[in-house]
Every structure is written in C-alpha cells, then in structure tokens.
Amino acid sequence: MKVQEFMTASPVTIDEDASLETALRTMDEHAIRHLPVVDGEHLIGVVSNRDLLGVAGWRGVERDADAVPRWVRDVMHRDVITVNPGDDALAAATEVFARHIGCVPVIEDGKLLGIISEMDLVGLIAERDRVNSSMDATIGSLGAPRAFVVAPDATLAQIDELMSAKDIRHVPVADGDKLLGMVSDRDMRRADADKNDWSIEARDFMTEGVVTVHEDLPISQAAAVMSDRRIGALVVTSESGDLGIVTTSDLLGYLLDAL
C-alpha cells in the first residue's frame, strides 16, 4: 500500500508569520493536531498541538512578556521527517510510531501534497483487518493500560502534572462509577489559552461524553470507530469492571507488530 492511498491530501496549512492565536484557532476549527508550515507550496516546518500547549495561556504569563513566543516561526519544527507519495504506507507508519511524531508530511519536489497522520493509519488498520479477518484480534489482546481517571473537580494544573508524569494525552473524567467526559491534550491547550487559570476544573473544559468499547471488540471495529469519529482514544471496559484506555498510538503499534 502506498502513502498516497491513505494520506490526507491538500491538508490545512499555515504561514510561519501567522500568530499562535491563529494556529490555535485553525486547529480547533478543523479538529487537527498538526499544521504543516509552508512558504507558498513548499514545506518549511510543522507546528503541533503540543508545541502550542507548551507556550499558551498561564505557562506564558510566568515568563518575561518579551520572551514569550508569539508567532508560528517561534515554535515550529523545521527539521521534519517527510515521505513521498509513492513510498510504502507501512514504512511511514514505522516513522510515526518509532519517532513519536504524530504525522509525516508527504512531499514531491519540495512541494507539500498531503500529510499522513496517526488517524490516517488507524483507517489503514481498519481496512486491512476487515480484509484479513484472521488477523483481527480483540482490543483486550492489546493489553490496554489502566486508565488514569480524574474527578470532575480536578484542576488544570493537577491534570497537567498527571499527563506529564505518565506521558499520556487522554484522561477520563468520572464521578464515582459514572463516566462524564474526557480531557485530552487538545482540551488542555484550549483551556490553557482561553482561561489562563491554573485552578479551572475538569468539568469546565472536558469533552463531555466518553466513547467506550468492550475488551472483546475486534481491533478493526475499534479502529473504525476512532476513524469515523476522529477521536484519539477509547475507554475499554471489561468484565472485571476495570477501565483501560486504547489510543491511536496503541493501534499503530499493533499494526507494526502484526507485520
């Protein structure tokens, strides 16, 4: 399978002279985590959700005002791994997974043609395992890690500390046994930029509702749910009552291990 079969063609882009506020708004409007930075048709870098999370809102006010990054050029990555449209899609998946980079721009003669992201590769998993059902294991076989659940009154600062300590991007929010929502790094970044308040509580900036799947669900079906709904994580339920979480990165790791 070739990259061009699974890439997102003509992706949303941004100029290096755009403000970080514009980058934030663009990501929110299009529900994306990465923006290729272009000069005309030519790729010159990539700015990610995490790049913006590191400089938005209350993190920025602790610094000298003149030192706070204001423009995409201040935070973007210029040394970017790229692939060509005719390259093997699984090789691109290896780059995304091994380097923890989330996406790979697709270029030809220096011009940006598309982008292949973890979400695009989740679609590849769904299609591949539908065709070859003998390889379609269950979500439970992935050994989904325990979900780190927080209460609705957990603060932005507390969740940020948890995400940093555990190197995670998604935290379910629950009141006792009742799941209320999910906090993602995107939600964190938005709250950080908009509220500028360490003490804001999860209930005020979480994404309400949680998509859950049982551990017996085939991986291809879980991948299809993620791809169709454009969500980065699913809460996994089990007969024991324990909650796990499976992410796009987990599914990508499965794809590579199954080769």
Angle value at C-alpha 189, between 193 and 55, nearest 5 degrees: 70
- Give the right CATH number for 3-128 from 1.10.10.10, 3.40.50.1820, 3.10.580.10, 3.40.50.300: 3.10.580.10
For residue 232, give the nearest of 257, 207, 201 by alpha carbon: 207
**pLDDT value of position 129:** 57
Task: Give the C-alpha separation, 110 to 205, whole Å.
Answer: 40
Indicate the range of 5-14, 138-147, 192-201 predicted with least confidence: 192-201
Retrieve residue 73's tokens: 């050029």
Question: 79: Cβ–Cβ under 8 A, 6 or more apart, which residues?
Answer: none
**pLDDT value of position 61:** 45
**pLDDT value of position 97:** 73
Architecture in CATH for domain 139-257 = Roll (3.10)
Tally Cβ neighbours within 10 Å of residue 161.
Answer: 11
**pLDDT value of position 65:** 53
**pLDDT value of position 158:** 95
Residue limits of CATH 3.10.580.10 in the chain: 3-128, 139-257
Q: Which has more confidence, 247 or 15?
A: 15
Which helix (DSSP H) or strand (DSSP E) does residue 105 occupy? strand 103-108
Length of the chain: 259
- The amino acid occupying position 108 is E
Q: Using alpha carbons, list the distances in angstroms from residue 29 to 23, 132, 190, 202, 212.
A: 10, 36, 12, 22, 25
> What is the tens place of the pLDDT at every residue in 63-95?
445 556 789 999 999 999 999 999 987 788 777
In this prediction the pTM is 0.75
